[in-house]
Amino acid sequence: MSKHQFQTEVSQLLDLMIHSLYSNKEIFLRELISNSSDALDKLNYLTLTDEKYKILSYQPRIDIAINKELKTLTLSDNGIGMNEEDLVENLGTIAKSGTKSFLQNLSGDNKKDSSLIGQFGVGFYSAFMVANKIEVISRKALEDKAFMWSSEAGGEYDISETTKESHGTSITLYLKEDELEFLEFFRVQAVIKKYSNHIPFAIFMDKEEKEFDEETKESKSEIKNVQINKASALWTIAKSQIKPDEYKDFYKQISHDSEDPTLWSHTKAEGKFEYTTLFYIPSTPPMDLFRMDYKPGVKLYVKRVFITDDEKELLPTYLRFVKGIIDAEDLPLNVSREILQQNKILDSIKKASVKKILSELKNLKEKDGEKYLAFYKNFGRVLKEGLYGDYENKEALLDLALFKSSKRDGLVSLKEYKEGMGEDQKSIYYITGENERILKNSPLIEQFKAKNIEVLLLDEEVDAIVIPMVGEYDKTPIKPVNNSDIDEEIKEDTTKTEENEKTYKEMLIKMKELLKDDVKDVKISGRLSDSPSCLIYDKNDPDFQMQQMLKQMGQDNLPSVKPILEINPDHEIFTKLMEKNDFSQLQDIAYLLLDQAKLQEGMKIEDISAFAKRLNRFIAKAL
């Protein structure tokens, strides 16, 4: 026997399992059965695709045994099994980076926290919620040696060589005194029916049945080994024969989520390619939604044989929150990862699946706006990522997108925006930034407000990347308000602008010379009502938000892009300057106006010290 120390994260995890996460402790059985099902899937796949394993003749199954005297619950499978190295890797260490995220994301809400267990691949350890000792005996397929792993959830575990007649894994839980409910047949059966009724393998359990003997007038007990789950892949059953609760329970089984899904879509396609899909939209976002190493939510089967649940190409990344099943009839069972990524059949299934999912979301939006809004608050940012590269579904994604607005509370769709446009309005306008309040009070939209033109307030990082690429919606241009190429409908009449340019010509030339290192140009503005100045960008230049996003994406060597400073000729700062005809303080004024415009757009001032000195000089003079 050899002793091993648990990895630090495992020790923390075990402590949590034992002392904190009690509200939904029955999920330990769901997690153990899910692990057994995975082990059977792996061996089943190998016996069909690998010559070495084709010699194995076995009927995949899971068995549960209760021993009331020893107070043990044992779960066994005849799947792929584990050797000593596998036991150390799988039960003593958690190599996944998601484990730290699991520990960091614990909220103190036991029900919510327990639902994270399966999401982060740490389900085995949930058994310590009900057991004070666990023994695992396993023998790997095609190997002769068997090993026993045992632990009492301290800081260590033991591994020793043992014997086992056939391949597979047997897990024995020594139940705590206050968890003996799991020694009752009907309690265990109820949990399995709730969480694991539709795993594709049969689960057997011994059941005591009493029969009355008419001759002896006595009751006789007989132990029968009975199957306690349906063991039918839910997606293969006709939709008309599946109850809503069965759909919901199956979702919880494959997603490890404790909440019901927002919606599901079950499709059986026949024709050129035959396949079945069952997709779910969760009601709560997974914790790894914005992680690069997120775990895909869709499992691939071929003719009901599990192939993979780790293939990110099955759906586009902007639908990474979708959970479910794809079962294809026309793929070879031994399809490789490389073939998967280039397979025409799978590509066709993927395209059809995306259209189906987006169509279901559109139906939800039209039929239940409140429910769609809840979905969008969780997944809208991710959905908008699709506008970056999925040109085929651009219009569908634009129809699903919602935005904050300068004119109304809540969120507005582009369709609703268009319906509210005035007869003379030619474009859909937006402003990007990091803060809704700053955007709503930005000088850039003062004239829009004055003319009662709605502006979309885009305060999410993804907006700065995807929206400039959209171009138009329903044949209507989509334009940023800080672009020099703004429509004539926003500008003042040409005559007044020309007069102002003549009046302020000398001052504009001086300001442009003073600020030549910081701005591309200084111009008279037609978009300002109250503020003295604002920053805009040439129509061919990326604005500040776009520049920030490009830097975050690693593009640090971009050429410097200077903004254009626009000034309000009707503001008293400039009218008084012209009245006095004294430009001696113009340098301080020019830089203060530039820095003020930067602050209003959420930008940083490079030289805070110079800004403070200029401001102090003007305060002193005012006194």
pLDDT digits (tens, 9 = 90+) for 83-125: 999 998 888 766 444 455 555 665 555 555 555 555 545 678 8
86's enclosing H/E stretch is helix 84-91
As to burial, measured by CB atoms within 10 angstroms (0-12 exposed, 13-18 middle, 19+ buried), residue 345 is middle
pLDDT digits (tens, 9 = 90+) for 174-225: 999 999 999 999 999 999 988 888 888 999 999 887 776 666 667 777 888 9
Q: What is the mean pLDDT of residues 561-565?
A: 89
**Residue 524 to residue 323: CA distance in whole angstroms:** 54
Q: What is the DSSP-derived secondary structure letter of residue 601?
A: T
- pLDDT for residue 66 is more than 80: yes
| 309 Cβ neighbours under 8 A, 6+ residues apart | 296, 298, 299, 300
pLDDT of residue 133: 95
Identify which of 132, 131, 102 has the alpha carbon closest to the alpha carbon of residue 12: 102
pTM score above 0.85:
no
In the chain, the N- to C-terminal Cα span, in Å, equals 86
Q: Mean pLDDT lowest for which of 84-98, 235-249, 340-354, 502-516?
A: 84-98
Q: Mean pLDDT lowest for which of 135-144, 228-237, 266-275, 303-312?
A: 303-312
Q: How many CB atoms lie within 10 A of CB 165?
A: 7
Domains and CATH numbers, the chain: 2-227 (3.30.565.10), 234-376 (3.30.230.80), 397-480 (3.40.50.11260), 494-622 (1.20.120.790)
Q: How confident is the model at residue 314 (pLDDT cuts 50, 70, 90)?
A: very high
pLDDT of residue 191: 92
pLDDT digits (tens, 9 = 90+) for 322-347: 999 999 988 877 666 666 777 889 99
pLDDT of residue 95: 44
